[in-house]
Chain A
Amino acid sequence: MKNKLFEKYFVFSPYFWLVLFFFIPLAIIFKISISVSEWGMPPYQDIFLFDNGFKINTTFENYVYIFSDYYYIGSFVNSLILALISTFFCLLIGFPLAFYIATSNIRLRNILLVLVVIPFWSSFLLRVYAWKIILQNNGILNVILLNLGITSEPLQLLYNQYAVIMGIVYTYLPLMILPLYGYLNKFDLNLIEASKDLGLNRTKTFFKVILPLSVPGIVAGSLLVFIPVVGEFIIPEMLGGSDRLYYGKILWEEFFVNRNWPGASALAFSGIIILVLPIVIFQILYSRWSQKNEI
């Protein structure tokens, strides 16, 4: 009996975690997003007022405010584009790497896996800062380029969207490689040989056999990169310039600089809904598809 009870609670512990650290904070954000802002601490009014009897004090003006100003929508679109481009490059670099790791012998494989994970051992902030040092006007890269005579004056490598994409691809690459590796590791290499034996060259074998069978790994890795990149704040802040505004930065400014908590919350909540809903729908469709195709 005791054991069963333990099992029951053990199974429920992840749900407990989810409720405590995901749904409750989300509910709080939603609550703030529909409250009326004011000067003070906290900078919003309660949604339930008991002054002269009970009164519900909510507003959707914060949402109207966000969606009527292209400043906010534009930054979100910028972030989506950034996430798409970064995911694409992570996949482009990560797939061959993951495939190479998965098909190499066990000793080399372990070394390579450690190399993929090693960056996690140092602070994320430090690593992005290191890129700043490498890319700055009198940084290593520019010094090398100048000394080789490739350029006559330092290139402006920092503070633009390309530096941001590079920083994100660099930081998120392991998150693409690891799930891909986990999937490709189980790949039956005989299938590749069978395809070649049946007359398909390397390119055709890749598109007809390797790629279709890697879809689950690609989906897992891409979601793992795409979702956090949309809200990424640190990298655009440190490496990016004023040429493009991103969602994470706008959110941060709205909250800390403008002290518009309801507006920031509305922005955050809209972002979650816009991002999560399509992904949930995609996941449902995808799981149906993969069940049908037995992948």
Chain B
Amino acid sequence: MYNNFLVIENISKSFGDNKVLENINLNISKSEFFGLLGSSGSGKTTLLRILGGFEKPDTGRVILDGMDITNLEPFDRPLNYMFQSYALFPHLNVFNNLAFGIKENFTKKEIEINVRNISELLSIEHLLNRRIKQLSGGEQQRVALGRCLIKKPKLLLLDEPLAALDKKLRSKTQLELTTLQKKLKITFVFVTHDQEEAMSLSDRMAIMKNGLILECSSPEDIYENPKSLYTANFIGIANIIEIYKKGENFYSDDLGINFKLNKELKNTKTNILLRPEKIKIQSINNLKTSSFNSFSGEILEKSYLGSFTRYEIKIKNMIISVLDQNFNSNSNYNFPKGEKVICSWESESIKVLED
């Protein structure tokens, strides 16, 4: 399925007694935009640094485009690394920062042409004579990106590429980064702790925790069908409910209601995931609760988010989050705090978690 462009094979790494990476295997395609998502201490940055050549793995191999690069020095690898701090050279101006990596192998004229091309691509041609300290965060990010791309790497590694930018600039840069990547067709592997960033940038992403890859798939697949409890909680808002077999159906003690699943279960007891936007919320006057996949509860908290309203609904021992899309401006669709409502969902929306 994947064309073995970048193969990460059985990579393990420890710092002293601290196991940072355990038997990591990944297969990344050419021109893929691949995200490594995890909280701090998950080992994601160490994995990226191993790819960059700044750390040596204890075991395993890294193969890039058919070449084993595991033991190559950073300066011998046909890839580039964009640092979270950008690591631009403060003693050089923008032009010389961009030209830093090509100065040796190119003539003066070629360097100028290359710098001009890359600065036009990133729209920083007006900054070439500036010093690094005279640049804004967004401009620095572009220079850092340009300094890597000018080398035409086979693979670009990005460590938290947008973390240093403010929120508004971040969403703009997010879009630019994806457009750029699709245009240049360079394989991008990036690290982030921000799940929204990972979802919007990645073609595919890997969820990391304690040095392990829990799941690796497209953002849609990971959001809709997470395998583990950790992923379900980590990505988006999750209602996790413990259910067990009771006669024909399943029953939740916390909610005191029946669940009907559209598939058989191996275990008699399991956790299920119910995404908040999959739950339909209706006024209690309109209908009665069904005997399964529905409950009536009281609205505890409500926050208006513009396109959505988020409700926290209390039922028995649990609080369930519901996202209700604001279809029209009719206030009938908005339920006040303290109101009793009926919540219901389709059997297909119930996702069974493996662990």
Residues of A whose CB lies within 8 Å of any CB of B are: 188, 190-191, 193-201, 204, 208-209, 212-213, 293-295
B51 to chain A, nearest CB (A): 11
Q: What is the size, in residues, of chain B's interface with A at 8 Å between Cβ atoms?
A: 25
Which of B88, B100, B147 has the most A CB atoms < 10 Å from its CB?
B100
Q: Is the interface of B mostly helix, strand, loop or mixed?
A: loop
Task: Show 10 residue pairs from A and B whose CB-CB distance is below 8 angstroms, ordered by the A residue.
Answer: A190-B87, A193-B81, A196-B53, A197-B53, A198-B151, A200-B104, A212-B91, A293-B131, A294-B91, A295-B91
Please determine whether A196 and B91 come into contact, CB atoms closer than 8 angstroms. no
CA distance A196 to B73 in the complex (A): 8
- A196 CB contacts on chain B under 8 angstroms: 53, 73-75
Separation of A201 and B53 alpha carbons in the complex (Å): 13
* A197 with B133: CB separation less than 8 A: no
- A198-B54 contact, Cβ under 8 Å, with A188-B85, A190-B87, A294-B131: no
A294-B131, A294-B133 known; A197+B80 contact, CB < 8 A: yes
Which chain A positions have C-beta within 8 A of B151? 198-199
Task: Please indicate the chain B residues that have their CB under 8 angstroms from the CB of A293 in the complex.
Answer: 91, 131
List of B residues within 8 angstroms of A201 by Cβ = 73, 75
> In the assembled complex, which residues on chain B have CB atoms less than 8 Å from the CB atom of A194?
81, 83, 87-89
Distance of A7 Cα from B73 Cα, bound (Å): 56
Q: Is B137 an interface residue (CB 8 A)?
A: no
Interface positions, chain B 75-104, Cβ under 8 Å from A, are: 75, 77, 80-81, 83, 85, 87-91, 100-101, 104
Give the chain A neighbours of B75 by CB distance below 8 A: 196-201
CB distance from B250 to the nearest CB of A (A): 52
Report A-chain residues with C-beta under 8 Å of the C-beta of B161: none
Give the docked Cα–Cα distance between A204 and B73 (Å).
14
The complex places the Cα of A190 from the Cα of B74 at a distance, in Å, of: 13
Chain A positions within 8 Å of B90 at CB level: 213, 294-295
**Can you name the residue of chain A whose Cβ is closest to the Cβ of B84?**
A190
Q: Check if B52 is an interface residue, CB within 8 A of chain A.
A: yes
Q: If the complex has contacts A201-B75, A294-B131, A295-B91, are A195 and B100 also in contact, measured as CB distance less than 8 A?
A: yes
Most buried by A among B90, B132, B151: B90
List 5 A-B pairs, minimum CB-CB distance, nearest first.
Answer: A198-B101, A190-B87, A194-B87, A196-B74, A197-B81
Structural contact, B101 and A193, CB atoms closer than 8 A: no
Interface centre among A191, A194, A213 (most CB of B within 10 A): A194
Shortest CB distance B43–A (Å): 18
Knowing A193-B74, A193-B81, A294-B133, the reply to whether A199 touches B87 (Cβ < 8 A) is no
B164 CB, min distance to chain A CBs, angstroms: 13
Q: Kindly list chain A residues whose C-beta atoms are within 8 Å of the C-beta of B131.
A: 293-294
Instruction: Give the residue among B53, B54, B147 with the most A Cβ atoms within 10 A.
Output: B54
Interchain CB contact under 8 A, B91 and A193: no
| Chain B 24-64 near chain A by CB (<8 Å), digits 1 or 0 | 00000000000000000000000000001110000000000
Q: Mark B94-138, 1 if CB is under 8 A from A, else 0.
A: 000000110010000000000000000000000000011100000
B87, A193: Cβ atoms closer than 8 Å: yes
Q: Which residues of A contact B77 (CB under 8 A)?
A: 197
Q: Which residues of B contact A188 (CB under 8 A)?
A: 85, 87
From A197, A208, A209, A213, B74 is in contact (CB under 8 Å) with A197
The CA-CA distance from A6 to B253 in the complex, in Å, is 73
- Interface contact B87-A191, CB-CB below 8 Å: yes
Q: Which residue on chain A has the smallest CB distance to residue B74? A: A196
A193 and B84 CA atoms in complex are apart in Å by 12
Q: Which of A199, A208, A293 has most chain B Cβ within 10 Å?
A: A199
Q: How far is the CA of A203 from the CA of B85 in the complex (A)?
A: 24
Return chain B residues, CB-CB under 8 Å to A193: 52, 54, 74, 81, 83, 87
CA distance A293 to B75 in the complex (A): 27
- Known interface pairs A190-B85, A294-B131, A294-B133; A198-B80 also in contact (CB < 8 Å): yes
**In the complex, are the beta carbons of A209 and B101 less than 8 A apart?**
no
- Tell me whether A191 and B74 are in contact in the complex, defined as CB-CB below 8 angstroms, given that A198-B101, A199-B101, A199-B151 are known contacts: no
Q: Determine the residue in chain B with the shortest Cβ distance to A189.
A: B87
Q: Report the Cα distance A195→B101, complex, angstroms.
A: 8
